[in-house]
Structure 1
Amino acid sequence: MRDMSELHLSLDCEEEDEKSSSADMLYLSRRALKNIPASVLNMTHLKSLYLEGNEIRSLPERFFSSLSSLVWLDVRNNRLTGLPAAIGQHRCLKTLLLEGNPISALPPELGHVISLKALSLRKCPLTSPPRDVLDRGLPSILRYLRSSQLGEGERNLRARCRCVCVCVCVCVCHLWLCIKRMACLKNSSLPWFCSTGVRSVPLETLVKLSWILALLRKRSITPDAIISHSLD
């Protein structure tokens, strides 16, 4: 098992060349900064930004969208508790140094930063991803973050399905009760039909509910069928 101090860190020649260009670099390390200066967000040409040893608690939501050319970001030993979700849209970031920040969870969106080659997480009290994922290195971390985002979407879909099922069942029960009451009448009249409240239901909805009822009686209904035929 590798020590966290050695985890994920790898530099290539291209990054070393970028560090030598002062026009693309900005050093703001150990300046007692509590926030990112607004002027920094206007420096769209920046490729390397050093913010180590400050007191920054959060990065602005537009940080990564404003600094779209950023390749190297050093925010070690600050007070960051998280990263903005917009980091997932960044396509240039290669090195991200988060060491020594009280970050407990990496955002799932970080898994979509396909350019990322180096990540430093030493002395970060992470609970997500779990330790066994962290020990397997950067590729495993990115895969875990991507899969966790998909898992959240799947949970939302299942919750939506359950909600739809409950609504449909209530409507079907109401419609079935109305049909049974109508069948008990020898001569159904329009005023009585209106008094049941069914008149306020569109004809198209009644047709769909009748279709669902038929499937229910055949025991062949599925959540996908409910969604596709009841929410169109």
Structure 2
Amino acid sequence: MPKSVVYNGCSVGENPLCCFDDLTQEECDFVEENSVEVEYKRGENICKQGSFASHIMVMKEGLAKIYLENGNDALILKILPAINMIGLPALFEGNNTFPYSVQTYMDSTVKQIEIGAFKKLIESNAKFAGQVISMLAENTVIINGRFFCLTKKQTYGRLADVLLCLSNRIYKTDKFPLQLTRKDLAELSSMSVESTTRILTKFKDEGLIAVHCNEIEILNADKLLEISAIG
């Protein structure tokens, strides 16, 4: 029997908006009639935890973090790259607020779809509804993996997970732009900025990564995977 693998990705999978491929032309027109595009600057809130959820949103361009807030404390649930949805948990009956906050890491473009119109598509198109359910299920797997990483892994394993996620699932290349600050990386890894900087330096000294002015390059992904597995 194969060994179970705990998935520790920090972001969503491939083609998360394939649900829209199952819409008819009439339904696509319906979406356009009930949506609007909004531009956000770096550091702006796309939505606030506890605020009224009037729209389901699609991140068309940019990068953001989804996080829970409690006073001055925050827990990042996942990173949201372009071509992903925001607000799906607000679809379930009895809830009309966002269960999390979303803030941009860079200038972003978001398409807001009126939530009532989105629900009508779910009710009228079974394939579309099935794809939405699949996305919600994947999000559950991602969040479970994140909690395992943050509660069971040591600092080296947590930062290795974040670097691998950025490389494999966000930018999809070994060399990617350093659009996240040391503080951002520290928040994702749930550690101090000082610890994050120290571990990055150690990874660099050991030849696992290269840090350029505006880029990080993964030089030894296998070793980072080993560090991640050991935790």
Larger radius of gyration between Structure 1 and Structure 2: 1
The TM-score with structure 1 as length reference comes to 0.21
Higher relative contact order (CA 8 A, sep 6+): 2
Which structure features the higher share of helix residues?
1
Which structure features the higher share of strand residues?
2
The TM-score with structure 2 as length reference comes to 0.21
